[in-house]
Amino acid sequence: MTNALEKLLESFESDHPVVLFLGQDFFRVEESESVLNAFMERLEGKPAQPEAKWRDVLRARNITTADYQWLSERFDRRVPTEGLEKVFDLAWSGVFTTSLDHRIAGLLETRGRLPETVLAADHYSRAPRSKARPAIHYAFGRAIDAERSSPPPKSSIELKRRLSAHTVPLLNRLRETATALGLVVIDGFIPESDWLEIDVLLASVSEQPAPLVLWFGATHTDSEFIEQMVGDGSLVCETRSLAEVLGTSARPLAAETPVFSSAEGTISLPDNRFFNLPPSLRLRVEAVAAVVDDTWTDSPDSSPSQVKELFERFHGDFGGPRSVVEGILRGFAIQRDFENRLFSGTDLLLKRSRDVDSFVILHGQSGTGKSIALARLAMKLRTQLKVPVLFSWGRVPLASELDDFCEAAEESGAPGTVVICDGSHPPDRYIDLTIGLKSKGRRVVVVGSCYRIEDEERIKDQSYIYAPEKLTPAEISSLSDLLVKYGHVSIGNEATQLSGEYFLPLLYRHLTASRRRLAGGMSNEARAAEGTIRIRARNVPRRKTQNNLLAEKLIAAGLGLQSEPIFEDEVGLEESDAAARLIDYVMVAGRLDCAIPVNLLLRSLRKAGGEDFDISQIAFLFQELDLFRWRAGDPEGNSYLVQPRLQLEAELICRKRVADKERELGCLISLISAVRSSSVDEQAEIQFALDVLHKLHRDGPRGKAYQSGYLAIARTLTSLRVEHQVLDARLMLQESAFRRETLFASDKPDQVEPLSDEDRDVILNEAREVVEFALSQIAAKKLRAGRKARQNFSVERASIYGFLAVGLAKRKAKEQDIWSHYQAARTAVQQAISGSAEYHPIDVGLWTPADILREETLSEVHAAELRADILFTLDQASSGILGKEGLLALHTRKLKLASLLENSALSDQAFNELELINPQVAYFLRAREMAAEVLVNSSIDPTSKEVALAYEAVKFLEERFEAIQSDVRSLQLLLQLKWVHLTGKRLFARDRSRIPQERSDQQQIHSIVSDLNAAAGEGARNSYRLLQAALEWLVGDVHSAREQFRDLGHDSDFEDPARVLRRLLLEAPGGLGFTGKIRRQRSEGHWEVQVSGFSGEVDLLTRDFPADDPRPGRDVRSFNIAFNYLGPIADPISRHGDKT
């Protein structure tokens, strides 16, 4: 077998990126290119010369649009040889071509692939190196696009322009797409014919760290690059074409199995139903999470002879979730006690799929069996409950990326979908995902893994399941049996002696291949790990210089291969050693469970190493050392990531090798500073940076360990943005957040050095500039940011102004300055609260005025207003917008505020004084004081005495309506109390708050809520917008109501879990329900009903009326009208037991 073919097959087998470069002559058959000959004949008006070249085309005459149209028709009607078909059948990670033939995409549409074309330098493929969606980069455009943008060149001058504007930038992506570990395969390239000069092509792939280049069909060509690259081993030339080499190979190619299989997509559901995923949907969802279909739970192939080896490999290197599931099916892992709770908790949430808080967080230290537990959960959910499962590892998908899958699953009859994320991310990210999917009404449960949580409130919560480090006696016994079963009798016996040994470390120390050779004490993990590195990395070859043939032979014979130890005994690595840095970088990121995109890693090493950077060392460490893992970051192999074999190992190695925190921070900052937006891996690199940043945060797995580096991190992000144009809203948010965190940390002088006032101001000002710049860029549509990001910026702005105001108050600055900063913070807080169900903006709205109050620097009037704001924010937070998590945090904050709010009642004198200066605040505080008893506990229905008190307060406020009609605080209080007075219940205290049936009552509430929302402007809360829209529908204009619902539905999409909840209910007088007639079907399972007595229509869901068999023209009876953010909806009476 030829050297080139061997390398090519090895790369395919080890799943490394392999990129095809196709020259213009790729279609040449038996030395002849019939289309080229015919084209030349057309251009010259005479038969073409026997050896026509593509370069002759541009010499003949200028090409017209009609010529290119003619050429594209020829491309359409030519048939490739079997050899070409074989070439295209290979699983390429991407294709770059100088050909103008648009049919290349068609030729790649085999094996389930969906190729994508890239025509210009400013186009980026959605998936840079996906084997399922290979990108075809047309260096010179396509003939078929002659009339469109990015046309192919029509003259030599246009060719030169195209070359500089598009060809070279596109070719520059070739190297990054292949990565240093991958291959670039050149085929069909004849230098003297092609429009592309060979030196331009080779220049683009030869800069270190470079991939290996295989040139099939190579010809003798005068080029400095060829000589040099062949000399240093980075180019291999093969004179035969790729097709011919493949044809003579005795090794079979796996060209028949699908690169991307939609056929395997069957997901069996309960009651003998099936969910067949459409290929396009599978492809989209598999880019972010694996679909656990029926093939996952098939019995693994049995091979008794290898079972022990498989057992050891399973415990030494988990690989992806699929291999973990396979290991579990083989019985390689014990079931830990907490796994039963994990399963039953998930099952319970599936049954209560309408709950908003449908998430389970599995937390615990690394090495406690979380990954195995999640994989077993996936397996049990599929085999026992037959519920569709999506499994993501590494990153948390966005709700919008999974929504279509969940919807399609439910339409196929699935009881819901479980999304499992094994990534050790902060719980908030899983909660955000749940909220996003719930906002679309999906019956979904999110299960995520997380490092150990210390917060006591959360620990008590049933949604948090703890994976303890210590084994129970029963677990130890099972483990012992398991180890004995697979031939590890001594360890099995050792396990039984334990009274609660760490679980995975035990297996880790004993089972991974070489570790058995190491005698290590029970508590000496770090030394064992480092010792392993020493054993494996004893020798690293010297940098490969330009050896001549003789030198190569001598090296091959074992001479001259002088070794260079990576580790001096007990000394450690030299600072300048690229190999040392590589280990440090991978391990510090691995300690945080973050895999590094390969190009980013090599870029940062090169940046740090400068001239000393030695790619041969790196390659050796990757290939010969069993320390790291390359893995595809997603099921379709789109991004390539480097990570330690086990997170635990990284943790141990870091403790020993990178004990100095500053050095660890230095490594992380180097990695972050190497992120580039011009890279083909832009998204993967930015995602890596975000993952690292989230974990460096004080809420991350290592708590405050990194807080001394927060300012350096923030400034690194700023320099990334300013110097390297990495413009990303999420990173900009972190730029500000880390600066704010710096100040927060400096308030605890026992932990970090305190900051001077000047430094604080500088840092806060930098943060403010970032946020204001980001918001202005978003407004100008120069920076892409979703609603969520915009909200986060609002909160961030609120926090910064809050910090500024509190800082000024602490320094006893001028009241005017403090107040103006406070007002800015308050406005931002209200905007952030309006569309969010999160607690964070509420927290800012509470701590900012509270901290200022504590400083006692403001006048009585302003202090009263601060108290009013605190009470107002507490009222907002108590009226059903927060989830379980938020309520827990609110409770903690309330306790801290209690002392501030004690004895805050206004004396008559104070009221009179305040009424003169700021009547709105005076009336609010007085009314709230009158109704304090009503508002004290929002979780129980008001008593008759409280209803009476509410009425008194309402009367008080209504008599002063003119003064309060633009004050959000008073209007909200009036609305809440009015609702209590009219219905005897609290507004939004639970689902289906009953709307008063009297039209005059409805009109009164409509008027108040309309004023409230108008006063709040952009800060109007979604729930009040719902109330306004519902009442508009009942007593106002139906069309205007529909518009309000449409806006509300749009604004809360993927954001507010309350979106699909039926929060308001109108009951028919008499309790028998409304009647209506079905007018038409809106969509599958959705109908439109005309209700008797109303001008507007309501929606009806088939699933709510299963016995009625809805059809157009049929009558529907016995329903109430409920309202969610999407509009009015028929709500069956019987559902709530009201029907007698």
* Interface ranges with other proteins (CB under 8 A): 29-30, 34-35, 38, 74, 76-83, 86, 106, 109-112, 240-241, 243-244, 246-248, 250, 263-264, 266, 274, 276, 294-295, 298-299, 301-302
Q: How far apart are CA 474 and CA 483, in angstroms?
A: 14
Helices (DSSP H) in 725-859: which residue ranges? 729-746, 757-779, 787-810, 815-834, 840-855
Cβ nearer to other proteins, comparing 110 with 677 = 110
Which of the 8 DSSP states describes residue 167? I
Least spacing, CB of residue 71 vs other proteins, in Å: 11
Cβ nearer to other proteins, comparing 29 with 459 = 29
Least spacing, CB of residue 355 vs other proteins, in Å: 34
Cβ nearer to other proteins, comparing 101 with 422 = 101
> Cis (ω within 30 of 0) for the bond into 278?
no
Q: What are the CA-CA distances from residue 946 to residues 930, 936, 992 (Å)?
A: 10, 10, 22
Least spacing, CB of residue 1089 vs other proteins, in Å: 32
Specify the residue for token string 């480090």: 469
In the chain the first and final C-alpha atoms are separated, in Å, by 83
The DSSP secondary structure of 830-852, one letter per residue, reads HHHHHT---SHHHHHHHHHHHHH
Interaxial angle between packed helices 34-44 and 65-76, expressed in degrees from 0 to 180 and rounded to the nearest 10: 160
Q: Could you tell me if 1010 and 1004 are in contact, meaning their C-beta atoms sit under 8 angstroms apart?
A: no
Cβ nearer to other proteins, comparing 107 with 1066 = 107
Q: How many other CB atoms are there within 10 angstroms of residue 454's CB atom?
A: 9
Least spacing, CB of residue 584 vs other proteins, in Å: 41
Q: Could you tell me if 281 and 293 are in contact, meaning their C-beta atoms sit under 8 angstroms apart?
A: no
Cβ nearer to other proteins, comparing 100 with 968 = 100
Q: Could you tell me if 848 and 822 are in contact, meaning their C-beta atoms sit under 8 angstroms apart?
A: yes
Q: How far apart are CA 676 and CA 682, in angstroms?
A: 6
Least spacing, CB of residue 383 vs other proteins, in Å: 15
Q: Could you tell me if 1063 and 991 are in contact, meaning their C-beta atoms sit under 8 angstroms apart?
A: yes
Least spacing, CB of residue 286 vs other proteins, in Å: 17
Least spacing, CB of residue 571 vs other proteins, in Å: 49
Specify the residue for token string 């604004």: 1051
Specify the residue for token string 């144009």: 725
Cβ nearer to other proteins, comparing 239 with 678 = 239
Which of the 8 DSSP states describes residue 413? T
Cβ nearer to other proteins, comparing 262 with 478 = 262
Q: For residue 457, give both structure tokens.
A: 């409130």
Q: How far apart are CA 546 and CA 556, in angstroms?
A: 15
**What are the beta bridge partners of residue 1101?**
1086
Q: For residue 1081, give both structure tokens.
A: 């079907």
Cβ nearer to other proteins, comparing 109 with 941 = 109
Cβ nearer to other proteins, comparing 274 with 1092 = 274
Q: How far apart are CA 399 and CA 1052, in angstroms?
A: 13
Least spacing, CB of residue 216 vs other proteins, in Å: 12
Nearest to 110 by CA among 84, 129, 143: 84
Q: For residue 431, give both structure tokens.
A: 């909660």
Least spacing, CB of residue 260 vs other proteins, in Å: 11
Least spacing, CB of residue 247 vs other proteins, in Å: 3
Least spacing, CB of residue 177 vs other proteins, in Å: 24
Least spacing, CB of residue 254 vs other proteins, in Å: 12
Cβ nearer to other proteins, comparing 241 with 346 = 241
Q: What is the dihedral of CA 1035, 1041, 1044, 1045, to 10 degrees?
A: 110
Nearest to 1010 by CA among 981, 1038, 1041: 1041
Least spacing, CB of residue 34 vs other proteins, in Å: 4
Cβ nearer to other proteins, comparing 269 with 778 = 269
Q: For residue 913, give both structure tokens.
A: 């004084």
Cβ nearer to other proteins, comparing 106 with 1096 = 106
Least spacing, CB of residue 302 vs other proteins, in Å: 7
Phi-psi region of 443 (alpha: psi -120 to 50; beta: other; left: phi over 0): beta
Which of the 8 DSSP states describes residue 542? P
Least spacing, CB of residue 380 vs other proteins, in Å: 21
Q: What are the CA-CA distances from residue 1079 to residues 854, 1068, 1097, 1113 (Å)?
A: 62, 21, 9, 6
Which amino acid does the sequence have at 448? G
Least spacing, CB of residue 890 vs other proteins, in Å: 51
Length of the chain: 1140
Cβ nearer to other proteins, comparing 68 with 793 = 68
Q: Which residues lie closer than 8 Å to 606 by C-beta, 6 or more apart?
A: 208, 209, 613
Q: What is the dihedral of CA 238, 243, 249, 253, to 10 degrees?
A: 120
Tell whether the torsion through CA atoms of 681, 682, 687 and 692 is positive or negative: positive
Least spacing, CB of residue 38 vs other proteins, in Å: 7
Q: Could you tell me if 102 and 150 are in contact, meaning their C-beta atoms sit under 8 angstroms apart?
A: no
Least spacing, CB of residue 103 vs other proteins, in Å: 8
Cβ nearer to other proteins, comparing 243 with 1027 = 243
Cβ nearer to other proteins, comparing 243 with 858 = 243
Cβ nearer to other proteins, comparing 246 with 292 = 246
Q: How far apart are CA 697 and CA 700, in angstroms?
A: 5
3-state secondary structure of 154: coil
Cβ nearer to other proteins, comparing 270 with 560 = 270
Cβ nearer to other proteins, comparing 85 with 626 = 85
Q: Rg of the Cα trace of the chain?
A: 34
| Burial bucket for residue 296 (CB in 10 Å: 0-12, 13-18, 19+) | buried
